[in-house]
Amino acid sequence: MKIKENRLIGFAIIALIYVIACIFGIWVYRLTPGSVYIKVLTADMAATITVYLFSLLLKNSTVYDPYWSVAPIVILPLLAMEYANTGLGTIFMLTAVTTWGVRLTYNWVKTFKNLNIQDWRYDMLKERSKGLFPLVNFFGIQVFPTVIVYLCMLPAIALIQSDSFNILTLAGFVVCFFAVLLQGISDYEMHEFRKNNSDRCALMRQGLWKYCRHPNYFGEILMWWGIFIMMMSSVPYMFYLLAGPLANTLMFVFISIPMAEKRLAGYKTDFDEYVKQTRVLIPLPKPLFK
């Protein structure tokens, strides 16, 4: 059996790549002068470049896929340890981020097949960009999401440095909890649907998916607004860090969702009717707002 066709070997290779990226990122962090925000950004980019180089070596951009959920659950706990912060605000924030990250990474694990298969979006971009794909791969597939996640982490980094706990902290945590629950339920429902339905053209119209077309994305968007709310309980004067969750929201609304819906419209049965009957993100019956 070829190495790239073996699922377990694929996992082992990707895990090793992330260990190397983590070690390199920590080394770069320690060498970088300046504020913690600059140090984290530099280390984050160093780790991303490491993953990118391995994706070129393996000819598969899917190597980067788990970075979105792995980076925060590595970076933020390490920062909390560096600042020796064991305050309630930080503990609640780390609990929310770790729960989100572990669950999302597990969801990736369930969908990963082997290193010969990569996300349909990457195949589409490769076909469209032709010889420019290495640049598209680096800036579009890997650097851009890294920057978005970095911006989303800024409120969490600010909270780690100025810890407090009050009713607003708890409110932010509740938003995060709801977001993780929403993502978990929607992903579970989709996995069950795909497992029990062999028709690729069939539409998932059960559970949360009965009311909106992207409940998992809604959970992802809510997650980082929850972290921002938690930060506001401690350092409200840093309100400008809403740029992080806002950038994440705009990415899903104007890039991820349109790209997904264009593809779904091409092969899903009665997709146009489904669009008319459902909301894009919010899992509530459409007539409620008529």
Q: Using an 8 Å Cβ cutoff, are 115 and 13 in contact?
A: yes
pLDDT value at residue 73: 98
For the stretch 190-247, pLDDT in tens is 999 988 888 888 899 999 999 999 999 999 999 999 999 999 999 999 999 999 999 9
In order, the DSSP letters of 41-77 are HHHHHHHHHHHHHHHHHHT-GGGGTTHHHHHHHHHHH
pLDDT value at residue 44: 98
Residue labelled with tokens 């600010």: 158
Weakest-pLDDT range from 113-122, 135-144, 178-187: 113-122
Total domains present in the chain: 1
The pTM of this model reads 0.94
Q: How far apart are CA 135 and CA 132, in angstroms?
A: 6
For the stretch 152-194, pLDDT in tens is 999 999 999 987 899 999 999 999 999 999 999 999 999 999 8
Weakest-pLDDT range from 5-9, 31-35, 43-47: 5-9
Burial of 19 (0-12, 13-18, 19+ CB in 10 A): exposed
Residue 227: give the domain boundaries: 3-289
